[in-house]
Amino acid sequence: MKRIVVACGSGVATSQTVASKINSMLEDEGIRATVEAVDIKSLESIIDQVDVYVTIVPGSQTYDKPMINGIKFLTGMGMAEEFEKLKELLK
């Protein structure tokens, strides 16, 4: 099963909200994946174990893994396009 990590500054409210939204959207599409929220500092230690990461922190460090813009899931602006990218990455 694919693993998605949503990272924000503290790993609490914002990343949990986005992780829940993504998980719900994936379920609606019948796509199975593990979606979890972490703080941005923890991301480096687990990045090798994830398939895609979603970041909410602008200008955060980039990794050699596909990245999705989590802000779009908060605002709704551009969310459909970003979700399509995520679905492609999970194939």
Whether 91 shows a pLDDT value over 70: the answer reads: yes
Mean of the pLDDT values across residues 81-86?
98
Domain that holds residue 35: 2-89
Q: Output the pLDDT for position 12.
A: 76
Q: How far apart are CA 82 and CA 70, in angstroms?
A: 9
pLDDT digits (tens, 9 = 90+) for 8-18: 987 679 999 99
As a residue count, the chain comes to 91
* Count of the separate structural domains present in the chain: 1
Mean of the pLDDT values across residues 33-53?
95
Q: Output the pLDDT for position 11.
A: 66
Angle at CA of residue 28, ends 25 and 34, nearest 5°:
60
Query: Could you tell me the CA-to-CA distances from 87 to 9, 22, 37, 57, 83 in Å, in that order?
Result: 25, 10, 18, 21, 6
Can you give the pTM of this predicted structure? 0.92
The CATH number of the domain holding residue 56 is: 3.40.50.2300
